[in-house]
Amino acid sequence: MADAVATAVAAELFEKIRTKSAVVGVVGLGYVGLPLINAFTTAGLRCLGFDVDWAKVQSLKEGISYIRHMESATIQGWLERDLFEPTADMSRLSEADAVLICVPTPLNDSRDPDLTYIQVTGRSIAATLRPGQLIVLESTTYPTTTRDVLIPILEQNSAGLRCGVDYFVAYSPEREDPGNPNFTAASIPKVVGGADAESLELACALYGHAIVQVVPVSSAEVAEACKILENTYRCVNIALVNELKVLFDRMGIDIWEVVNAAKTKPFGFQAFYPGPGLGGHCIPIDPFYLSWLARRHGMSARFIELAGEVNTRMPRYVIDRLAEFLNDVGKPIRGSRIAILGMAYKKDVDDPRESPSFELADLLLKRGAELSYSDPHIPVVSASGHHSLPEMVSQQLTAEYLRGQDCVLIATDHTAFDYELIAKYSRLVVDTRNATKGVLEGREKIRRA
């Protein structure tokens, strides 16, 4: 064992990790937690899965997945090999030698970080914390959260146990890309930062069993900042192409053709594409973490805030363009039958979190549209976050359904959609994703926004 790990408690835990006898607890059985469990069980480690949603726990006990890209057969394999047990009983956290926190970190109504789920989870862990446990935060958050929020909760509620001596804490940002078959939790390099040298050593050893490459950094703060940088990078570049889309639309230039031409340059350029707004659990949120953090340090993150403003404006821009297109055929939005295709935040996933489609739906309803939607991965939608939508059921995408709409708005470019069918039978198609680029019949009815 490395010289950095000096205590007997750490040495005992390290030996459990080395021999794969350590039990891994994962708190939050969602889009991050389940793929992580898959990586560890594939490596032969036993996992306990914790979630306060009893319906999720019961589904997993029965070997049934509720996430599209995690097959039920995979979960059944964990159960059959006795490598996985889901539970809603947080008192069992003491049974895990390593506890990985994969809970949501949303924004509150004032768009400041809401760490409620981390704090509640921290108190649950502290209530059963014992010597020889490793706690790793994976939830996306701002730099200093691990040291200034999580560790104080553990220290205040754990009967005098000391971080770095009795138990160990690290941060390792999740890097899931749902819907992308080219990457799994096990195949994406894992950045790890420890609260101290012992914690870093232990966390790296743990992830080393399950992840293709572990990237140690000097502190938990560096690992936290790494995650924020990754997602803000995407946010800023998407804002750039979104703003160029608005400009090029006025000039009659196709932004998608421009980006595809630019990406032929073999250096100095990475392609990002415009859309109706940002969605998902990270990219729409992380820049606001940085803006909030900058204000706390007496700064203004103007570049980042501008990118956030540009992306936030895109749904309204899309609806304004849709109104123009309808006006061209003598129809207002009010009273028109409009279908949104795709309520998920990205292509081929069943995750609606922060999806711009909800903002699009909200704006259309406020303007008096008769709204419906179709999404093969999202069977039902209702109120979400700041959007008080009525409950709606996904409609089957048929010729009859399309003929009955005054306008079809492509918000998410799912592979399952038949774009030839959409163009052929729709009266008007507004495409925000360039999904109809290869369509021949019905092209005269397609407008891009």
Catalytic residues: 282
Nearest-10 crossing angle of helices 255-262, 220-251 = 130
The first and second tokens of residue 443, run together, are: 């092209």
Q: What angle do CA 104, 35, 183 make, to 5 degrees?
A: 110
Q: CB of 370 within 8 A of CB of 390?
A: no
d(CA 367, CA 361): 10
> Is residue 170 within a helix (H) or strand (E), and if so which, with residue range?
strand 168-171
β-pair partners for 303: none
d(CA 282, CA 9): 36
Closest residue by Cα to residue 175 from 353, 22, 39, 348? 39
d(CA 174, CA 316): 31
Per-residue b or e along 75-112, where b marks 16 or more CB atoms closer than 10 Å to that residue's CB: bbbbbeeebbbbbbebeebebbbbbbbbbbbebeeeee
Q: Name the DSSP letter for residue 165.
A: T
Q: Name the DSSP letter for residue 264.
A: T
- Residue 406: CA atoms inside 13 Å, Cβ hemisphere, count? 19
Q: CB of 373 within 8 A of CB of 394?
A: yes
Q: What angle do CA 115, 116, 119 make, to 5 degrees?
A: 85
d(CA 83, CA 153): 30
